[in-house]
Amino acid sequence: MEKIREKYAIVGVGESNRSKNSGVTPLELALEAARVAIADAGLEAKDIDGFMSYSEMDSCSPHQVATYLGVRPKVVKEMFGGGSSTELLIAEAIGLIETGQVNTVLIYRSMNGRSGVRMGGGGFSIDALQNGFDGGSFIIPYGAGSPGQWFGLFATRHMHLNGLTQEHLGHVCTSFYEHAQRNPKAFFYGKPLTMEEYMKTAHLSSPFTKHDYCLESDEANAIIVTSTERAKDCKSVPVKILGMAAREVVSHAHYWKNIDEVAADYVAPQLYKAAGVSPEDIKVASIYDCFSWVVLRQLEAYGLAPKGEVGDFVSAGNLRMDGKLPTNTAGGMLSEGYTHGMNNVLEIVRQVRREYEGTDRQVEDTELAICTGWTGPDVAGAMILCK
């Protein structure tokens, strides 16, 4: 990846309306987000010749989106995937552009994640999970049937080994809820969270309270990737991709010899080598936050907080706007909305562009930014961005 350093950029970002009940199809949401991203880049739909998306049986196809935008694309790609799929598709888009297959790619995630297929509830049958999820037959019949229960097991062990407490999880939640108060589009805008309130909240699945879970929302997000050369013709400020580690897969969690490892432990060294920087150089972050603990584990994996000291790191307020590493500054998936992490990508692009200049939402130093993806302990990806 060193060979493509700063050769490619994100030139457009956009989102649809965010709600709990959209009343429209994922296709309509995707088209709304795509049109906003295209306008943000100063392009026309016909300038997009690659369309990509990921879903978990809950969306619309890239071919549909291209068709309704009036485009005959050169490449369409749809994949089954979750939290680290944005980074993977950006890497694939770069590969296609690098080899001359396409010029500009639109990547989107569209879902009725509250009113339609819900990640933690309706829309999936037990049989589908048990038979379609690798290793599902070993855990689902015994009551571990949702991501909160699966990740809670990993969180409990990691917290025990590293002296982490419920309050440390709470610092992640209260920091991100605080960010949401500056974002009128966030679900929890106007709903701040105090540590006292957090600590009084009952567990849904230990060690997670309702505040430790990501939201469910109906929405679509879209991003546009092209070369930095073509980006000169766009109206937006291009955000360059300094380095990527698109995806690392560790053998399935249930068969690991060392269940304390996560895929991000392997992604991190590849990422910093590709970008030619170190963790100390990172100034602002979007960290995948399907659960609060996942943030703690990634801060550790990417060297953003010393191993064994991540609890102290967040307790000191370092995720807040005036901290060492302002993180998930739109509120993240814990308090803004949920599109399998793509909303975090939109926010980090806007921070690096300095779109919030002159307001209390703009991070002071955005020279280098990290954005991470996490499908689970076994799959991860990340990228480092610059202006």
Our answer to whether residue 266 is catalytic in this structure is no
**Residue whose C-alpha is closest to residue 239's, from 99, 16, 40:** 40
Whole-number pLDDT of residue 134: 64
Do 305 and 168 meet the contact criterion of CB atoms below 8 Å apart?
A: no
User: Measuring CA to CA, how many Å separate 337 from each of 130, 185, 215, 342?
Assistant: 28, 9, 6, 10
Euclidean distance between CA atoms 336 and 56, whole angstroms: 21
3-state secondary structure 226-252: EEHHHHCCCCCCCEEEEEEEEEEECCC
> In terms of CATH, what superfamily is 2-117+216-231?
Thiolase/Chalcone synthase (3.40.47.10)
Whole-number pLDDT of residue 45: 98
Do 222 and 29 meet the contact criterion of CB atoms below 8 Å apart?
A: no
Do 174 and 193 meet the contact criterion of CB atoms below 8 Å apart?
A: yes
Which amino acid appears at position 213 of this protein? Y
Say which of 54, 198, 302, 338 is annotated catalytic: 338
Whole-number pLDDT of residue 127: 58
Whole-number pLDDT of residue 121: 57
Query: pTM of the entire structure?
Result: 0.94
pLDDT in tens, 6-47: 999 999 999 999 999 999 999 999 999 999 999 999 999 999
Question: For residue 269, is the peptide bond before it cis, meaning its omega torsion is within 30 degrees of 0?
Answer: no
The SS3 of residue 47 is helix
Our answer to whether residue 213 is catalytic in this structure is no
The ranges of the chain with pLDDT < 70 are: 1-2, 118-135, 247-248, 250-256
Say which of 54, 213, 288, 356 is annotated catalytic: 288
Whole-number pLDDT of residue 128: 54
Instruction: List the chain domain ranges.
Output: 2-117+216-231
Please work out, in degrees rounded to the nearest 5, the angle formed at the alpha carbon of residue 241 by the alpha carbons of 365 and 333.
Answer: 70
The SS3 of residue 338 is coil
**Residue whose C-alpha is closest to residue 253's, from 336, 151, 359, 181:** 151
